[in-house]
């Protein structure tokens, strides 16, 4: 079952042209306190999509117009990472493989056990929340990084590489005292308490920054 905190934070989208099945899934999800929106077609979902809401998508594979697999591909093209749970009575091995290769979270064939679907929704919602929290953290860290001056950013990279103030001063052509001042500003602005923590922040922000920060120092 979903925890109260998950139920308050996520949105389950159900897309199925079979109204009876669609509403049965809606009632099932609502019975454990989840917020649900339902759509009769992929086009309806796309017209009303709220990408900022974490949660999951319970999706029929075969539908008139845009199929479930085509919708999955369209969401991926838009850069949306909603976990997709496919529910179908027409599934086969090749279809399941295609869905999973496209990043589907789960694939459940009708008739299904209610608890199996609830468990899949629960797992998918937790994944979505974790992704959302990570995205928010990266956004905040990026804002902090953008608050650094160009010189502070240079110092940040060298500090993350474990360089001493003396080595940083020599490499940048500034005084040890100036490095110390910049280093203090960097640690305060980035909310880091050590060079190791600063390096982890750069890794979280951008693999390119991480590579720059963690590469060996140039030979003197």
Q: List the one residue out of 52, 84, 90 whose CA is nearest residue 71.
A: 84
- DSSP 3-state assignment of 58? strand
- Phi, then psi, of 125 in degrees rounded to 5: -65, -40
- DSSP 3-state assignment of 197? helix
Are 142 and 205 in contact by the 8 Å Cβ rule? The answer is yes
- Phi, then psi, of 161 in degrees rounded to 5: -80, -5
| The token pair that represents 99 in the structure block | 């869905």
Predicted confidence (pLDDT) at residue 56 exceeds the cutoff of 80 = yes
DSSP assigned state of 33: T
Q: Quickly state the pLDDT bin for 81 (edges 50, 70, 90).
A: confident
Give the per-residue pLDDT at 90. 64
Predicted confidence (pLDDT) at residue 214 exceeds the cutoff of 80 = no
CATH class of 147-214: mainly alpha
Could you give the C-alpha distances from 145 to 107, 198, 218, in angstroms and in order? 40, 11, 24
Are 41 and 84 in contact by the 8 Å Cβ rule? The answer is no
Of 81 and 91, more confident: 81
DSSP assigned state of 161: T
Quote the strand ranges of 44-202, DSSP E. 55-59, 84-88, 106-109
Of 118 and 96, more confident: 118
Domain extent listing, the chain: 4-138, 147-214
Give the per-residue pLDDT at 220. 38
Give the per-residue pLDDT at 33. 93
Each residue of 143-177: pLDDT tens digit? 999 999 999 999 998 988 888 899 999 999 999 99
Give the per-residue pLDDT at 188. 93
Q: Would you tell me which CATH number, out of the four given (3.40.50.2300, 3.30.530.20, 3.10.450.350, 3.20.20.70), belongs to the domain 4-138?
A: 3.40.50.2300
Mean pLDDT across the stretch 75-79?
A: 87
Give the per-residue pLDDT at 101. 76
CA dist 44 and 121 (Å) reads 21
| The token pair that represents 72 in the structure block | 């999955």
Give the per-residue pLDDT at 5. 43
Give the per-residue pLDDT at 1. 39
């Amino acid at each position: 079952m979903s925890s109260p905190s998950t139920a308050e934070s996520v949105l389950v989208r159900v897309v199925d042209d079979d109204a009876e099945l669609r509403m049965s899934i809606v009632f099932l999800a609502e019975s454990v306190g989840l917020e649900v929106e339902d759509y009769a077609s992929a086009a309806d979902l796309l017209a009303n999509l709220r990408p900022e809401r974490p949660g999951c998508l319970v999706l029929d594979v075969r539908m008139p117009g845009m199929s479930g697999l085509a919708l999955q591909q369209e969401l991926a093209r838009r850069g949306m990472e909603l976990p997709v749970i496919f529910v179908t009575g027409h599934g086969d091995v090749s279809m399941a493989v295609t869905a999973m290769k496209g990043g589907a979270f789960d694939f459940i064939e009708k008739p299904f056990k209610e608890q199996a679907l609830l468990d899949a929704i629960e797992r998918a919602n937790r994944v979505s929340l974790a992704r959302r929290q990570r995205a928010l953290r990266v956004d905040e860290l990026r804002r902090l990084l953008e608050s650094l001056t160009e010189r502070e950013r240079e110092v940040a990279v060298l500090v993350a590489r474990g360089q001493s103030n003396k080595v940083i001063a020599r490499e940048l052509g500034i005084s040890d005292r100036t490095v110390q001042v910049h280093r203090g500003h960097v640690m305060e602005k980035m909310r880091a308490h050590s060079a190791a923590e600063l390096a982890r922040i750069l890794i979280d922000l951008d693999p390119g920054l991480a590579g720059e920060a963690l590469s060996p120092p140039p030979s003197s």
